[in-house]
């Protein structure tokens, strides 16, 4: 130990003097014994120094091992935190992208379908104009009745102009006569059996429907075969 090594070094001069006094009368043999004692104490000191160095090395290795384990744990904790933050970042990025897509679609829909309410109100005007022209007897429309003819032509032109306005803004007529019944575009008022006609075929259109682009703003009122 360190204490033993310290004691040996401290008392080495006294031991040397004692050896000389003891073996002074027999120089050769005393010298041999003296050298033996010197070698013994020297080897003990080296041994103690070696043990001390080994103990210090073991202690340093233990401290180093502890420090390495601590650093490994810190690194693992940092990696776990990085993975967690990266996952949160990716989720936030995906949520942001989804929100941007939804907002873009809502803005586009607002531009496209913002006139939907206005168009639905004008559909009634188109219906009235259509009923007015259809109610005029065709045989009465002649040069002999110029006022009725002018009125009919005016109503027809007005309705045609209104339909052109509808078309420019994406409003189209749904007139499904002889087509397959589509619950997304049609509203069935009745069903009846009809010979030589497939089931669920529109056989009567009581009121035409309308679409604004691809959205149905008024279903066609129809009768369907069964």
Bridge-based pairing of strands 202-207 and 220-225 is antiparallel
Q: Are 149 and 143 in contact (CB under 8 A)?
A: yes
Q: Per mean pLDDT, which range of 25-39, 66-80, 92-106, 187-201 is the poorest? A: 25-39
pLDDT in tens, 204-224: 999 999 999 889 999 999 999
Q: Per mean pLDDT, which range of 8-22, 163-177, 183-197 is the poorest? A: 8-22
**pTM of the shown model:** 0.56
**Which residues are within 8 A (CB) of 208 and not within 5 positions of it... i.e. 6 or more apart?**
173, 174, 175, 220
Which residue would you say has higher pLDDT here, 190 or 34? 190
Three-class SS of residue 187?
Answer: strand
Orientation angle between helical segments 116-135 and 146-168, nearest 10 degrees: 150
CB-based burial label for 219 (10 Å; 0-12, 13-18, 19+): buried
The predicted structure's pLDDT at residue 50: 67
Q: What is the CATH number of domain 171-226?
A: 2.30.22.10
pLDDT in tens, 82-108: 999 999 999 999 999 999 999 998 888
């Amino acid at each position: 130990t360190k204490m033993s090594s310290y004691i040996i070094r401290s008392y080495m001069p006294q031991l040397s003097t004692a050896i000389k006094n003891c073996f002074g009368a027999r120089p050769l043999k005393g010298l041999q014994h003296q050298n033996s004692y010197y070698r013994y104490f020297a080897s003990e000191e080296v041994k103690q120094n070696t043990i001390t160095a080994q103990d210090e090395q073991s202690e340093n290795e233990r401290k180093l091992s502890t420090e390495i384990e601590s650093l490994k744990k810190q690194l693992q904790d940092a990696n776990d935190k990085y993975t967690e933050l990266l996952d949160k970042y990716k989720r936030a990025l995906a949520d942001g992208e989804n929100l941007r897509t939804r907002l873009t679609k809502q803005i586009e829909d607002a531009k496209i379908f913002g006139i939907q309410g206005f168009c639905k109100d004008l559909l009634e005007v188109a219906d009235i104009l259509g009923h007015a022209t259809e109610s005029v007897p065709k045989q009465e429309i002649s040069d002999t009745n110029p006022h009725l003819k002018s009125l009919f032509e005016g109503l027809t032109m007005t309705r045609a102009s209104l339909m052109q306005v509808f078309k420019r803004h994406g409003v189209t007529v749904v007139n499904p006569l002889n087509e397959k019944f589509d619950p997304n575009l049609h509203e069935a008022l009745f069903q009846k059996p009809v010979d030589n006609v497939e089931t669920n075929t529109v056989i009567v259109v009581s009121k035409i429907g309308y679409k604004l682009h691809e959205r149905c703003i008024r279903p066609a009122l129809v009768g369907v075969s069964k």
